[in-house]
Structure 1
Amino acid sequence: MSMPGEGKTKPRVVIDTNVFVSGLTFKGQPREVLDLAWKGEIEVYISPFILKELTGTLKKDFGWSNEQIRHTIQMKPIKVLGCQRLNAVNQLRRDF
């Protein structure tokens, strides 16, 4: 006998820097998205580029230290996706 909700996959969400920063520093819908992640109701993903941009924004615009950023990223249920750079023009040349 399965429990309600068992076996269902969680929604997967990619969050950009603006949503992430707003969710960490202000109330509103971005915070609600992060709250869903913290409750385990959604899976949050960011790319290495977004992580770098997020780190820079938190340091420059909000005065966060590296330790604060590291702690926040590590304690939150965030998955950093691997990215692969593609050169679309070269790919098209190879394919056609």
Structure 2
Amino acid sequence: MENTGNIDACVFYIPSVPLTPNNMQYVKQQREAFLKGVPPPDFPGGSGESQFSDRATIADIQSEAGKVAMGLSPIKLNGKDEKSKKLGQNMNAMLGF
């Protein structure tokens, strides 16, 4: 499907911070919505861009930081203490990494 309207159409996927279980759950839901081309969980329902031939895909996210923000790559925490490591492990586990 192609956007044949008179104006551009777009969907925004906004990263969720800070690292908390609730925010990670949102990122997980948002990632699934993005992969399906449907609106993220905090937008009204509908098919979104799922039928558009030129909708955004993983290939359009060029930076590693963008992939991490969308839950498509594991989170890398620079903290060396055990608490930071455990936080990173828990958040990545919620995302399936």
TM-score (normalizing by structure 1) = 0.30
More helix by share: 1
TM-score (normalizing by structure 2) = 0.30
More strand by share: 1
Query: In terms of Rg, which structure is larger?
Result: 1
